[in-house]
Amino acid sequence: MTPAEWRTDATAGNIFRLRRAFPPTNTLPSKKLMHWNLGLALLFITSVNGTAGEFRFESVEGRFGFSANHRTRDLHQVDAAATWKLPWDWRPCPQWRLETGLDFTAGGIFASGPDAFVTSLGPTVAVGYAKIPLALELGVSPTLLSRQDIGETDFGSLFQLTSHAGLNWDLGRRFRIGYRFQHMSNCGITDHNPGLNLHVFSAGYRF
């Protein structure tokens, strides 16, 4: 066998092994993969072309959310939240900014039946423009429930993962209001995974 034939045979063997290890699929990504892909994207964004700043306490907020689905219409969530500014941000030009943060919540999910305590902690990424007091925020947070059956809904697990996308509007230097669409689910770690979609409104004080 000539060197050229040996290289061709070796390449074909490598491709065959890769196809066996990573078989093709035409299925849509699961909710679990979508959650983890969002988390990996946030980590990637915070590590590329960033600048180091300071870790500091940023704001306190009150949040109220109501169900976005008819199936869970009896559920609503009330949280107290605290946010910190993480020391990584990115400014591709003087007017645009991308900032990272840490979001902590503690509150309750309430229903006509049993209620539950809920708490979460996770990273956020906010994109804003200097001349507009609005910022687009994305985030994902590991979440714990005190019970998995809330009202008429069994969430399948005490562990959940919460992701959100929303807008924050700064009213001067000290006050902020916001809206986010929030999704919570157990990422398929149990067979029963109904999830919870919420429209969440917030008001806060910035330090």
Q: How confident is the model at residue 92 (pLDDT cuts 50, 70, 90)?
A: confident
Per residue in 1-35, pLDDT (tens digit) is 554 444 444 444 444 444 444 444 443 345 555 55
Tally of domains within the chain: 1
**How far out from the chain centre does Cα 34 lie?**
10
Half-sphere exposure of 137 (CA within 13 A, CB side): 26
Euclidean distance between CA atoms 77 and 148, whole angstroms: 15
**Residues of the domain holding 198:** 30-206
pTM for the structure as a whole: 0.76
Length of the chain: 207
| 158, two tokens | 């005490």
Does a structural domain hold residue 21? no
The confidence score (pLDDT) of residue 36 equals: 55
| 65, two tokens | 């959310």
Map residue 197 onto helix, strand or coil.
Answer: strand
Euclidean distance between CA atoms 176 and 152, whole angstroms: 34
The confidence score (pLDDT) of residue 76 equals: 97
Per residue in 52-79, pLDDT (tens digit) is 678 999 999 999 999 999 999 999 999 9
Does a structural domain hold residue 170? yes
CATH number at residue 196: 2.40.160.20
Handedness of CA 27, 187, 192, 154 (dihedral sign): negative
Alpha helices in the chain (DSSP H): 3-21, 31-47
Which of 82, 93, 27 lies closest to 57, judged by CA? 82
With a pLDDT cut of 70, the percent of the chain lying above it is 75
The confidence score (pLDDT) of residue 19 equals: 44
Does a structural domain hold residue 119? yes
Does a structural domain hold residue 149? yes
The confidence score (pLDDT) of residue 43 equals: 53
Does a structural domain hold residue 15? no
Does a structural domain hold residue 152? yes
Computed on alpha carbons and rounded to an integer, the radius of gyration of the chain in Å comes to: 22
Average pLDDT on 197-205 reads 98
The confidence score (pLDDT) of residue 33 equals: 53
H or E element, residue 128: strand 116-129
Does a structural domain hold residue 14? no
The confidence score (pLDDT) of residue 8 equals: 42
The confidence score (pLDDT) of residue 35 equals: 55
Which of 108, 123, 195 lies closest to 157, judged by CA? 195
* 187, 193 contact by CB (below 8 A): yes
The confidence score (pLDDT) of residue 38 equals: 59
Conformation bin of residue 75: beta by default, left when phi > 0, alpha when psi is -120 to 50: beta
